[in-house]
Chains A and B, each alone.
Chain A
């Protein structure tokens, strides 16, 4: 099993004819994902490689059937494109795009949730259930099918951790990059809940970073509602206050959002926090008693 996606997930690519969109649409298909259509306004009726292109998400979904849409749409148009996917009733929307204005995301992320849809991102690498489905930009070669769930605010740091897991013989059920922006569609707690309920997941790795208090809230949730082991990693321990560390959401402001506070919260919740990415597998092994 896995969460959110599986072998039969049918995927639409919005922004499928752009540089990144066309490259990754092809990559996802090579990696075994059922990529069924692309959407680029004004290019309907054409093909991108073997992928049929439609003008709208609604058209593509009607013709091909779709469970998910992934967006490679430039930032100025990305919020409208998420809204289009939502209006077309797509249950899972994955927004890779970085740089969407925060106020746009507040109302949009709320609307998508109210409709019972799931938005992953923005500013994220997407998600993968190894061997079944990949919706995003991560290199599939480092992943292996398995029973560890991964949730992360980062992209390449997730690859680093997955790489370490795979090396240690720990495959992944699903790995989700939730995005580095202050306002994102799906948070740690939403996914911890899903992993807790997933028969195919034995334990979860949570990769957080400085900024906000999502890690502190996740720690509280784990205390009350998780029976499966969780191991955490926090990046930004050496980040100076008041500086945005790449991600729009990674900033210590007014003494809040520090790595120390997050590590403390996890320690209090009985969640071990790894000092280095490479020590995550051994902490997991201890918790899983393997």
Chain B
């Protein structure tokens, strides 16, 4: 689950991480009012995607009038499919130097890794690709505290003056505790800026939380932003289906995430376009097939359906029953290709055959058939 900058800032403020003054606003006039208190104001779109600056979602303004204008420009922009509905207006205090500071779950080290760089502002991924030696790292295992001596050595490389090292150390410790206490998978301050009067401030904040751990953080779960998901994706999540909307025309119902991905890849490989990723999950509940199909069929772009089941925990007879249920409840008026193998495949096929439905057993053949069906509908 992703948080907005303003939500992350709120958490920073709560744990005492110094940051520049800011306000969250929803109307241009509010932006103007807030801007009156600062010499220069930065107006920032609040959207759950990166690259706001490049998309025109971050602008500087002098005084209220200009801030109101800029706010007007940015509100209503669409950035990578995300409509801008809220703005952050902040004190654009002068900056002497920008740094990068962040913590991530580090898969290969099996640890939480601190990343610190004297080259802030730009994307850390870009920096990692072009100048990896500029990123200093220190790993820590959850439950342990940061190695103080190693941290000091690292700070020494990035900040020449002790007073800045001390400020950064304090912020890093607070950031680490916030990361652990909220079960984050990513938490970053970029830029982490040094002002001419010698203060280190967070000028932006990005936070991603572990979905698996949200159940133990009801306060954070309440921060979920509905716009992070499309309506169909939210409905699928609420029905325990793993669903991602894509822009093609072949609707897919598959069991298992890896096989579902591979099925989409095969559709592309043979020249078709998938409309969605959908994993019906391991347990065989016939209702899930109906739920899945009802979500997929609401997409007007879908002109053919592929059901690909390799039964393990999932039983083919349950899928077959689910499909017959779905046919009764929903109007399926697009061609349907079914591939059904694995646990109880004979029983499953018998159920379908009685209803006049044929199921295949070869995946490549099924994919080619559904592509042909989709083309004939287009």
Contacts and interface: CB of A to CB of B under 8 A. Distances in A.
A163 B266 CA distance: 17
Contacts of A20: 283, 313
Contacts of A236: 261, 265
A250 interface: yes
Given A182-B105, A183-B107, A278-B363, A101 B216 contact: yes
B313 A137 contact: yes
Interface string B189-215: 000000000000000000000111101
A283 to B, nearest CB: 15
Given A102-B183, A152-B258, A254-B124, A110 B110 contact: yes
Contact of B141 (A106, A209, A210): A106
Task: Classify the interface of chain A: helix, strand, loop or mixed.
Answer: loop
Interface stretch (A33-41, A47-55, A196-204, A237-245): A237-245
A87 interface: no
B213 A106 contact: no
A212 B99 CA distance: 25
Contacts of B274: 238
A207 interface: yes
B23 interface: no
Contacts of A250: 257-258, 261
Contact of B259 (A139, A160, A212): A160
A265 interface: no
The interface size bin for chain B is 35 or more
Contacts of B268: 237-238
A249 B264 contact: no
The interface size bin for chain A is 35 or more
B142 A235 contact: no
A254 B312 CA distance: 34
Interface string B123-144: 1110001000000000001110
Given A101-B216, A214-B107, A254-B124, A106 B257 contact: no
Interface of A: 20, 75-76, 98-104, 106-107, 109-110, 125, 137-139, 142, 152-160, 163, 180, 182-183, 207, 209-210, 212-214, 217, 233, 235-240, 242-250, 253-256, 275-278
30 contacts: A102-B183, A102-B210, A102-B213, A103-B112, A103-B180, A106-B141, A139-B311, A142-B342, A153-B258, A154-B262, A156-B314, A157-B262, A182-B107, A182-B185, A213-B108, A214-B108, A235-B258, A235-B259, A235-B261, A236-B261, A238-B264, A238-B265, A238-B267, A238-B274, A239-B264, A245-B257, A245-B260, A246-B258, A247-B258, A256-B125
Given A254-B124, A276-B364, 9 more contacts: A100-B212, A155-B312, A156-B255, A160-B259, A214-B107, A239-B261, A242-B49, A245-B260, A249-B107
Interface of B: 49-50, 105, 107-108, 110-112, 123-125, 129, 141-143, 180, 183, 185-186, 210-213, 215-216, 242, 244, 246, 254-262, 264-269, 274, 277, 279, 282-283, 310-314, 341-343, 363-364
